[in-house]
Structure 1
């Protein structure tokens, strides 16, 4: 579990409550269920309107990366390619057939199998890099769905404030109730800004980082397998792949 994500969320929200407390504000005024509903549920609903079900599901699947991130060890992947290159150098590409199932990357597994099967090295590189790019594009659409939720949240917060003010105006005859109603109304704006800038956008940035790491990981493996397929010396190939780290 990525404890840094949890720590960041706790620090961010604590700063808001602490600032409110130091300013003499009542903590209870920051807790408002209707404001949370219109901001969170409303933002998700608006994002669903502009998106597709598959992108929303992909976004949900990637969202877990914020707490349980995928591990892409580029150094380990580079070393694995080096060992494969040494084996192919000593024996042949066909000798790598037993190593195909050992690769943890599905794309790298297909690339190595293509190399072992004798597919042209340039064709292998073009096809597999195309698959890597398409995978990154799918990841990007899922990330854009997350970011769209953050984009709608501040506007939904303002809408919540307007609704709250409408309800507050119904208490014009009671100044005390009116003041309390106006204070609660503006909580929606706070929720909209906070949900977008303290939760959605930071988490989307973290997911985007892991998607970039995934891209580098797959590119390293595929470039390494291409190098093996064209017969590059293991040491030279290892030096070339060092640029990914």
Structure 2
């Protein structure tokens, strides 16, 4: 669990509500259903319109990474690769076939199967790097969904503000309608800017960091498998891969 994500969300919105309270306002002054509908609905609609289904599905599936990020145990990964190297040196590359069948990580499993099939090191590296690049780009396109929402939210908030002001102008003769109209105008702007800067853009940046960690771990796997393919000493492989630990 990423406690910093929880702290960040709570601190950001607590500062917003607390600042409003210190200015003499109440938390109820920031609650407006019409403004929320305009900003949230309009932002979602615009972002969904520009996003392919595959990217939208991936964006929803990785959202939990913000609070429950995937863990990459570099120490364990290195030890596992060293064991593969020792087995390959003892029994040959075909000795890795039972390991490949049991491997749970799809990326590592693909690399092991390529090794077992006798793929040369250059082709092995090329195939796995291409696979890494495609997976990384697919994930980054998914993250762009949240970035685009962060870009649209303030603009939609301004649209909500204009709608509120239109209602105010239409009801100047009725003082009871002026207050609600002004409330929608200003609260919609707050919703748009706050949603963008306190939630959506930080979510996108946090997901990018996890994608970078995922790619780094897969680069480690590629280097390890290529080293095994070239018949390097397991001890040398371990020393080389330890450079990924920071």
* TM-score normalised by length of structure 2: 0.93
**Separation (CA, whole Å) in 2 of partners of 1:23 and 1:174:** 28
**Separation (CA, whole Å) in 1 of partners of 2:36 and 2:179:** 20
C-alpha contact 1:2 1:68 (8 A) present in aligned 2: yes
Aligned residue for 1:147?
147
Aligned residue for 2:207?
207
Aligned residue for 1:190?
190
**Separation (CA, whole Å) in 2 of partners of 1:240 and 1:84:** 15
C-alpha contact 2:160 2:184 (8 A) present in aligned 1: no
Aligned residue for 2:171?
171
Q: For 1:112-159, what per-residue CA distance to the aligned partner results, in whole angstroms no more than 9, with x for missing partners?
A: 111112111211111111001110010111011110011100000000
TM-superposed deviation, 1:180: 5.2
Aligned residue for 1:71?
71
**Separation (CA, whole Å) in 1 of partners of 2:22 and 2:79:** 54
1:104-119 aligned within 5 A: 104-119=104-119
Counterpart secondary structure, 1:186: helix
TM-superposed deviation, 1:45: 0.7
C-alpha contact 1:3 1:67 (8 A) present in aligned 2: yes
**Separation (CA, whole Å) in 2 of partners of 1:106 and 1:180:** 55
TM-superposed deviation, 1:179: 4.5
Aligned residue for 1:133?
133
C-alpha contact 2:121 2:226 (8 A) present in aligned 1: yes
Matched, 1:47 2:72: no
- Pick closer, same or farther for the CA change 1:45–1:184 going to 2, 3 Å: closer
* TM-score normalised by length of structure 1: 0.94
C-alpha contact 1:29 1:184 (8 A) present in aligned 2: no
C-alpha contact 2:34 2:184 (8 A) present in aligned 1: no
C-alpha contact 1:112 1:225 (8 A) present in aligned 2: yes
Aligned residue for 1:221?
221
**Separation (CA, whole Å) in 2 of partners of 1:105 and 1:82:** 16
Q: For 1:72-118, what per-residue CA distance to the aligned partner results, in whole angstroms no more than 9, with x for missing partners?
A: 22221111111211222233222222211343320110111111121
Aligned residue for 2:181?
181
TM-superposed deviation, 1:174: 4.8
**Separation (CA, whole Å) in 2 of partners of 1:184 and 1:152:** 18
Matched, 1:12 2:12: yes
TM-superposed deviation, 1:39: 1.1
